[in-house]
Structure formats: structure tokens, C-alpha cells
Structure 1
Amino acid sequence: MEMNDLILVSVDDHVIEPPTLFDRHLPAKYRDQAPRMHTTKNGTEGQDSWIYDGKVLPNIALNAVVGRPPEEYGVEPAAYSQIRKGAWDIASRIEDMNVNGVLGSICFPTFPQFAGVLFIGSKDPAAAKAIVSAYNDWHIHEWAGYAPGRMIPLAIMPLWDIDACVAEAKRVAALGVRTITFPDVPAAKGLPSIHSGYWDPLWAVCEDHRIVVSIHIGSGMSAPHVSSESPIDSWIVTMPMSIANATSDWLFSPIFKKFPNLKVALSEGGIGWIPYFLERADFTYKHHSAWTNANFGELLPSELFFKNFITCFIDDAFGLANTRFLNDNMITWECDYPHSDTVWPNCPEALWKTIQHLPENDIHKITHLNAMREFSYDPFAILGRENCTVGALRAQALHVDTAPRAGLGGANPARADGKPVTSGDVMKMFA
């Protein structure tokens, strides 16, 4: 097997929503309440901002710096003109996937936030429900529907209303959706906790329709900045592992006793930290359950984890060197386009360095077969397997320009004094 024989399915990418998002799918009576794009002049540059419920949402791109040189990875683009077109235009996205050798992709929201929590607390809940449905219809029909076999559609939920969640989950399931995005810690967003039983009707729908619950890092509880003076590097290092707290909460929750076939994906969580996490979970259960009353029945926490949790990584040499401590039937890969952690357009090269030591069957499972099974995704039936490899896709993209583009503009936290960029420097851009 060679690198060009890889078949890559990314279970975590992102879409920068286009200004036309709500043009076609929102009922006319709610059009005036829809999020809308507003462009202002900031000096000589234009700044694009979404406006919703009377509030300006200044950050349209959330670190969409793909295609820029490394010294600009910290820039926060402020306008569509400062973002690579593949971030928000589906035709260009498919070309950027081809040149990167990526077959399939799950794309998380940006301006509604990773789990759609923007719409919690909207002034008009009925309008907000319609907006959520319109977002999903756009994602299903225009984004994922543009190129059959290339996108795995993902839906957001009207999280403030469990009955509406159930109805929307059933509706999008009928349209082929097999994953929803959900806050990793809903209580952090003022919602009922996963221990309350409140979400059980939604989990029942997800289990019945084989819908994966994708919990993205930072979707509920953000990775903490230790201090405003801390180097931003320290936050970047621990960001994927920040999902460990939420993972433990889900693992020790009653959810999987009630819904034993429900699957949860730890989106952008990485895998290298998981072996020790599971060792600690098993130790805690054996050592403390006599007084905590934790009860996993005949299973250990690690065994339940292996059965119900899908793990995801971008670049994780340690994790791939230690798959014997993981369930390689539940490991998946991700690209994270268009964020600064992506190594686009060189994902195959980076992955091949760390995965080529594994048996060919294991490589296939991790790069695409696990994702295809868990997300009910069958691109081979549409495209033919021979057209899905890195080599075949890149052969279609010889015309795509991947040269880094510098100086496109945007807020830049880089310091002229040469001192380390701090958490405070970065947080100012999102204030």
C-alpha cells in the first residue's frame, strides 16, 4: 500500500456560512428576523459581520486561515475577501478537498457556534426554530447536496425546546442526516445537564435512527485560558484534551444504560491522551465505586467507552503508535479545514508518516471504514471506490492553486516587540 492508495474521510471540518444562507429555506414571515450579513468599512478594509437579534457577531471566520503562511495562523479574518474561497463556497470546497486527497467531510457550523448555541435565548423562539430548520435545510440540500457522495450532512438542534429537538431530529433523519452537533457540556450553556433525563427523548430518536451525537471541543465548555498573560501556545496545546472533562461526564452518566446503542463522537478531541484517561477511569471505578455508587454493570468504564465513543484525531503519532490501547474500530481521522490546525493541502503526507506502520486493514478502518460505518456513509456506491483514493482525487485537482497567500488582512495578534503572544492578545480579537 502507498500513500496515494489512502481513502480519507474527515469527521471534523468547518463551514464559514455564506451570506446567502437564509435566502431560500426560511419562510417569508421570518425573513426579517433571520441572521443577515452587514458590511462596514474599517479604515480601507471592509468588515463583514452577521447581525442577529439586534446583536453584531463580529467574527465570521473563527480562525479560517487555511492557505495562509504559518506566520499568519493567528490572524482572525474579518471579511470574506480575507478567507480562502473553499471555506464558504461549496464548489471551491470540493476542489480543495480533491487537491488534499480528501473524499468525505463533516462540516460544523461557525457563526451559530459549533453546536448551534447562538440561537438559545432568542427573542422569538418560533422564529428561532424556523431559522434552525432553515440552516439545516441549507446544509443538507445546498452544502452537502451539491456533490453527492462527498459530504456527510450534520444538523443543529433547537436546544431550548426538547420537543422541538425531537421533531427536528426526526425531520432531518428522514432527509438522510446521521449526525447532529450537540454541546459537550450543555449545562455550561444554561441547559439541563446530561444527567437530568431531559434529553432522553432526543437520545431515543438518535438511537432509533443511528444518529451520532457529535460533541465538538469548545461547543459547551471552552478550554480555559489560565491567565491573560499566559502564552497562547499553552492554550493551543491543551485545547483538544479539554474535552476530557466532558468525556468523563458522559461516560459516567446514565445515558448509555438507557440507550446502549447511542454513539458519541469526540470531535477534534485527539486520541493520544485516551489510554491514560481510560486507565484512570477503570481505577476510579474499581477503587471508589463502593462509596460513589457508580455502576457499569458487567462492564468496565473503558469497555463502555470502546463500545459507544467514536474518537477523532488530526495529527496524533503517539495515538497511532498505541492503538493496542484503543479500539481501532472506533478511531477516525479529521482534517479541520479551514482552521489553523489543518495541514491542508498536505494531509495525506502528514498522515502517511504516522500511520504507514499499521496493517493495511487497520489503516483502512481508521482512514475511512470506521467513519463510513458509524455515520452511515457510502460514497463508493455513488462514486466507485477506484475514484475515491488520494491519487484519484488529486488527479482531478491539478489546476487548483495551493500556494500560500499572505497579507490578506484581518486582526493580527502578533507582537512587534517579539514577546510571546498571550491569551489576552488573542481574546481581545473576540471581545
Structure 2
Amino acid sequence: METIVTGKKRNEDFKNSDVSLIDCDVHPFLTSLDELVPYLDEAYHKQLNIGRFRNDLLKDQNNGGFEFPKGRYSNPGHVLRIDAFTPSGGVPGTDPKFLARDLFDRYNTTFGILNIGHGTMGAHHNVTLAAEYTRAANDWLYDSWVKSDPRYKMTMEVIPLDSQLSVKEIERIGKKPGIVGINLRVVNIPFGKRHFWPIYEIAEEYGLPILVHPDAENTSEYSASQAIGPASTYIEWHSTLPIIAMRQIPSLVFEGVFEKFPKLKFAFIEYGFAWLPHLMWRLDKNWKGLRQEVPWLKMPPSEYIRRNIRLGTQPIEEPYKPNHLLEMIQMVNAEEMLLFCSDYPHWDGDNLNRIFLRFPDELKRKIYFENALQTFRF
């Protein structure tokens, strides 16, 4: 029987080892939905239009078939880096061995956290089908990637529209070595609502942080439009993604999630972080005048944010004077909140050797390794 090592014991071991970098956002891709055939009951093969049923649409024009939830917006260039295609010409992010050489070996990466990059069905209207797809995708990612290289770790997908199905999926695989977090997709239910609390309860029990990453916001499936409605162009949608995090964090704080689950961490990845001082200052100011509405809060909102919220560094903001970025982090004592993310193999990934040049070594150590070590369940 395999021994499950607790997160605390692992963290103590790693503190004594020569570890340099944890990349918190690496994207693997399916080459085709057919890769999921071994993980799905055949009844779902036809619903997903995969395997031997893949050409049914061509045979029967009246068969509505299945369409994977697609984004509304298209990058006018290419969303994937053209220098990351595999040696055989495969799509970037589809070859575990090549990705390990191209990214991990190049930057001496100790661990890379895999967050599915080809899209999910977390917000799909057919919840039963979404649950089956999610289970299959989790097993595919674990077998094809995590088992291929000890440096690969992964976040597991869950079903945000059904918290009970999410809990069952976490119970099924949430204690597997190599699974270090839970990927919760955005739907039209704010994260502070009690709908999600069963997920938070088991996540805290298992020591798994909640990772939030753009996905469903780019589809028409139960996704939250960015504050005032859908964008017209890719540049507008991509530029306004931080609004999602700025809306979700107050929901988590004011609904009392971090008072109820004090050890739960939330990592917002690919939403930037330069908006953080404004948000923390505004929430603290309003709390001073309106705290009678949220009597369950025992400390200012900014303290919950520092304790429970983590933010990915990518896509990093680039002020006219580079030193201003460091000053902004220091203004709100956010040194322990930032996680290094390469976003490999996406077009707007950040280069490790350039983006933190003006940061002191102590802060770089926290961003590169220590903050992730304390956030994810290694």
C-alpha cells in the first residue's frame, strides 16, 4: 500500500533541499478528445462525438452532435508560442517529454504545476456530461503527464455548477500524490456564496488550495461577463480579465469564507496583480464605515487577503519606471502573496530571466519558490 505523505512533512523535507523554482502555471493540451476514450464509458463516447462515433455528424446531418465549449474571442496572431511546437510538429503543450526539456531543463524548474490548457467543461450546461468529461480529463492528465516526470504536479478539475459532484471527485483522487490543488472555474455564482462551501470544506481538509484561472469567462456557458457585458474584441476581453478577480475577492472576504475556512488558500492566476493596492485600500475603507453589515469579520479585509489570497505574476504589469512595480508590492506588504507563473506555452508568457531584474534576492526567493511551497500541497 502506498504511503501518503502529508503536506506538512513534504514541506519540511523541501525546505532542507536544494530547490530553486516552482512554476505555478504550465498548460498541457489534448491533441484530440479521442485521448479520453480509455477513460470514458462508451455511452459518453457518442455524446462527446469521439472514438468510433466521431464521424456521425458527417453521416447524419440531422444529428446535432456535441461541440466543445468554445471561446468567443480569437487572438489575431496565435494564442500559443510558435517556438514551442514539438519536434514532430505537434501543438505546443502536447508532448510531456519535450515540454520538460524546453521549459524545466532550461530554467532548472523543480516543479511545474499543470493547469489544463485546452479548455474545460466545468461550466457546461449538461452537468452530468461535464462531470464525466472532468473525471476523464483528470485521469488523462495524471496518467499521461504526472506519471511521466516527477517534476510534474497538477491541479484537478471540478464541476462548479454542482458542488456535491465536485466533492465526490475530490474524494476520488484528491489525496493522490502529485495533485497539489483544485482548479475551480468561474461561473455566474460569486465564489463567496454557500453553493461552493462544500468544496471549500473538503479542500481545507485535504490541504488543497483553490486555483482560479481564465476559462469559462471566454465562453457563453454560464460565464460571468466582465462587469458590464461581453467585450467586442480579444484585446478588450484579455485586458479586462482582472475585473473577474477584483469581483471575486470581495465576495470571498465579505461572505465570510476565510473566517469559516481560515486555512483555505485561493490562487488567482493570469489576472495580474497591479490592481491589488486599490482593492485592499478600498475594502478596508468601506469596512470601517459599514462593518455592521458583516459582523462575522474579525479583522480588516486586507488582512484576510494577505493571509488567504495568492496571485500569479503573469501577465506581469510593466510600469514606465520599473521600480514602481516593486514599490507597489511593498506598499501593501504583498511579498508573500505572489507566485511565479510562466504560462507556458501561451503567447504572453513572462521570461524568468528578465521580469524580476530589479527585485531583491529575498523577494525573488519568495516568488520563485517559498510562496508556492506554502500554498500548494507538496
TM-score normalised by L of structure 2: 0.76
Q: Given the alignment, which residue of 228, 239, 242 partners 1:240?
A: 242
User: What do residues 266-295 of structure 1 show as CA deviations (whole Å, max 9, x unaligned)?
Assistant: 1112222101210111001112334xx123
> What's the counterpart of residue 323 of structure 1?
329
Residue type of the partner of 2:126? G
Residues in 1 aligned to 2:273 and 2:20: alpha-carbon distance in whole angstroms: 20
Residues in 1 aligned to 2:344 and 2:141: alpha-carbon distance in whole angstroms: 17
Shift in Å at residue 327 of structure 1? 2.9
Residues in 2 aligned to 1:203 and 1:211: alpha-carbon distance in whole angstroms: 9
Residue type of the partner of 2:101? E
Matches within 5 A, 1:360-399: 360-377=361-378
1:85/1:92 contact within 8 Å kept = no
Shift in Å at residue 158 of structure 1? 3.0
2:123/2:161 contact within 8 Å kept = no
Residues in 2 aligned to 1:197 and 1:226: alpha-carbon distance in whole angstroms: 25
Q: 1:364 to 1:266 in 2, by over 3 A?
A: same
Q: Given the alignment, which residue of 349, 355, 377 partners 2:353?
A: 349
Shift in Å at residue 322 of structure 1? 2.8
Residues in 1 aligned to 2:149 and 2:262: alpha-carbon distance in whole angstroms: 34
Q: 1:209 to 1:340 in 2, by over 3 A?
A: same
Residues in 1 aligned to 2:87 and 2:46: alpha-carbon distance in whole angstroms: 26
Residues in 2 aligned to 1:58 and 1:249: alpha-carbon distance in whole angstroms: 26
Residues in 1 aligned to 2:124 and 2:236: alpha-carbon distance in whole angstroms: 31
Matches within 5 A, 1:16-35: 16-19=29-32, 20-34=34-48
User: What do residues 68-121 of structure 1 show as CA deviations (whole Å, max 9, x unaligned)?
Assistant: 38xxxxxxx9xx9998643222122112213641623223334443xx425442
Return 5+ residue gaps in structure 1 as ranges. Answer: 41-51, 70-76, 378-431
- Tell me, yes or no, if structure 1 residue 55 matches structure 2 residue 66: yes
Residues in 2 aligned to 1:182 and 1:194: alpha-carbon distance in whole angstroms: 9
> What's the counterpart of residue 9 of structure 2?
none
SS in 2 for 1:24: helix
Residues in 1 aligned to 2:118 and 2:234: alpha-carbon distance in whole angstroms: 23
User: What do residues 180-209 of structure 1 show as CA deviations (whole Å, max 9, x unaligned)?
Assistant: 11134x3x1xxx554442222211100001
1:278/1:301 contact within 8 Å kept = yes
Identity percentage over the alignment? Answer: 20
Residues in 2 aligned to 1:194 and 1:227: alpha-carbon distance in whole angstroms: 20
Residues in 2 aligned to 1:172 and 1:203: alpha-carbon distance in whole angstroms: 16
Q: 1:156 to 1:221 in 2, by over 3 A?
A: same
1:316/1:354 contact within 8 Å kept = no
Higher relative contact order (CA 8 A, sep 6+): 1
Q: Given the alignment, which residue of 232, 257, 264 partners 1:255?
A: 257
> What's the counterpart of residue 209 of structure 1?
206
Matches within 5 A, 1:16-415: 16-19=29-32, 20-34=34-48, 36=50, 54-57=65-68, 65-68=79-82, 85-98=91-104, 100-101=106-107, 103=109, 104-113=111-120, 116-122=121-127, 125=128, 127-148=129-150, 150-176=151-177, 177-184=179-186, 186=187, 188=188, 193-217=190-214, 219=216, 220-223=223-226, 233-290=235-292, 293-295=293-295, 297-314=297-314, 315-316=316-317, 318-324=324-330, 325-343=332-350, 347-355=351-359, 358=360, 360-377=361-378
Residues in 2 aligned to 1:228 and 1:195: alpha-carbon distance in whole angstroms: 25
SS in 2 for 1:198: helix
2:93/2:99 contact within 8 Å kept = yes
TM-score normalised by L of structure 1: 0.67
User: What do residues 355-403 of structure 1 show as CA deviations (whole Å, max 9, x unaligned)?
Assistant: 3xx1x232111111211221123xxxxxxxxxxxxxxxxxxxxxxxxxx
> What's the counterpart of residue 401 of structure 1?
none
Residues in 1 aligned to 2:346 and 2:287: alpha-carbon distance in whole angstroms: 37
- Tell me, yes or no, if structure 1 residue 8 matches structure 2 residue 25: no
SS in 2 for 1:10: strand
Return 5+ residue gaps in structure 2 as ranges. Answer: 1-17, 56-62, 217-222, 319-323
RMSD: 3.5
**Aligned residue-pair number:** 333
